[in-house]
Amino acid sequence: MLNFSDLLPYTDVFFGGLMTTIELTLLTTVLGVVLGTTCAAVRQYGHPASQRAVAAYVELIRNTPFIVQLFFIFFGLPSIGLMLSPWQASVIALTINLGAYSTEIIRAGLNNIPKGQWEAAKVLGMDFRQTLTRVVFTPAFEKIYPALTSQCIIVMLGSAVLSQISVQDLTYAANLVQSRNFRAFESYVVTALMYLGLAMLMRYVFAMIGKRVFAFREAQ
């Protein structure tokens, strides 16, 4: 029946996959949140036309499956002359995906800032950029930080799909191992647990970063 020891010779395959998943997650979490922050600011304070453009982007991404976005970027774009490696396509797809979701989340945070904050900043002689970066962003992010954390974890879990365009991530490793030793159940259980561990680790790291960044609040 179950035999997990057959997985032992493949430890380095799993480890390699895990590293790829972590690497992609780190990179795209940063890129995605930066994109989301930019889009949220445009959506909230930008020119009406650019507001509409951002809204269209957000709705388009949020209402289509990630795997279709990935296939469109990886298989679809080359046919109009834009060749991408699996790695490039993955980074782009994940970033665009997280960007759209985080736009909505961050915008909710920006919406939450009382008007008085803007007015007070204006009275103090701050311009738009200063107000945004020094007054508005921190409390806005603090408010939506748990939701943003969850979304980043969801995107990390969604990255399992990247194995379908032959990115050698954790899921790819699981498929490779089970095709070699025919231990599908064991291989997938172990991989699922690794994802679970990764999700917990992300929650922990985000909480740690949050504690640091929003520390000034607790001192009050």
By CB under 8 A, name the binding residues for other proteins. 1-2, 59-60, 62-69, 71-72, 75-80, 153, 157-161, 163-164, 171, 174-175, 178, 182-185, 188-189, 191-193, 195-196, 199-200
**Shortest spacing between CB 73 and other proteins, in angstroms:** 9
In a 3-state reduction of DSSP, which class is residue 182?
coil
Smallest separation (angstroms) from other proteins to the CB of 24: 13
Distances (CA, A) of 69 to 31, 62, 77, 86, 149: 17, 10, 11, 13, 22
Which amino acid makes up residue 206?
Answer: F
Q: How far is residue 136's CA from residue 132's CA, in Å, rounded to a whole number?
A: 5
Of 35 and 160, nearer to other proteins (C-beta) is 160
Q: Which is nearer to other proteins, 121 or 153 (CB)?
A: 153
CA proximity to 202, closest of 141, 140, 151, 130: 151
Number of H helices, E strands in the chain: 10, 0
- Considering beta carbons, is residue 15 or 182 the nearer one to other proteins? 182
Residue with Cβ nearer other proteins (193 or 207): 193
Q: How far is the CB of 121 from other proteins (least distance, A)?
A: 29
